[in-house]
C-alpha cells in the first residue's frame, strides 16, 4: 500500500546544492518514520537522515550534519532532502525508506546524485 518515489537527483559541481524529493502514498504512511539512505559504488548502504511524521524529530549521519536538511509536508505527503556544500564523497544512489532506520519496511527505487571533483 505504501509507495515511495524519489526525484531530484542529478550532476552537480563540488560545493553546489540539490534538493531531493520523496513522494509518499498509503493510508498508514503517517505511522512511519521516513529515512534517506545512500549507496555508493563498491560501498555498503549507509544511513543519511530521518524524520518522524508524528513528532517532527530529525536525525542525521555525522558525515552530512550541518550540510543536509530533511523536512516534510504532511498535507502533500512529501519528504525532502536539501543537500548543500556537496562533496565528491556524497556521490551515490539515494533511497527514500519508510520505517525504523535499522530495518525499513518500504523502499523507493532511488535517485542518482553525482558530485564532480
Q: Point out the residues of the chain with pLDDT beneath 50.
A: none
- The set of cell numbers assigned to 95 is 533511497
pLDDT value at residue 55: 59
Helix/strand/coil (H/E/C) assignment for every residue in the chain: CCEEEEECCEEEECCCCEEEEEEEECCCHHHCEEEEEEECCCCCCEEEEEEECCCCCEEECCCCCCCEEEEEECCCCEEEEEECCCCHHHCEEEEEEECCCCCCCEECCCEEEEEEC
pLDDT value at residue 27: 59
pLDDT value at residue 1: 73
Amino acid at each position: 500500500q505504501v509507495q515511495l518515489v524519489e526525484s531530484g537527483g542529478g550532476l552537480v559541481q563540488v560545493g553546489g546544492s540539490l534538493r531531493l524529493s520523496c513522494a509518499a502514498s498509503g493510508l498508514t504512511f503517517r505511522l512511519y518514520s521516513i529515512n534517506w539512505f545512500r549507496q555508493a559504488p563498491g560501498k555498503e548502504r549507509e544511513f543519511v537522515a530521518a524524520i518522524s511524521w508524528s513528532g517532527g524529530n530529525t536525525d542525521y549521519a555525522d558525515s552530512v550534519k550541518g550540510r543536509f536538511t530533511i523536512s516534510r509536508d504532511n498535507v502533500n505527503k512529501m519528504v525532502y532532502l536539501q543537500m548543500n556544500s556537496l562533496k565528491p564523497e556524497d556521490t551515490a544512489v539515494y533511497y527514500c525508506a519508510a520505517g525504523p532506520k535499522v530495518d525499513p519496511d518500504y523502499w523507493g527505487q532511488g535517485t542518482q546524485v553525482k558530485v564532480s571533483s
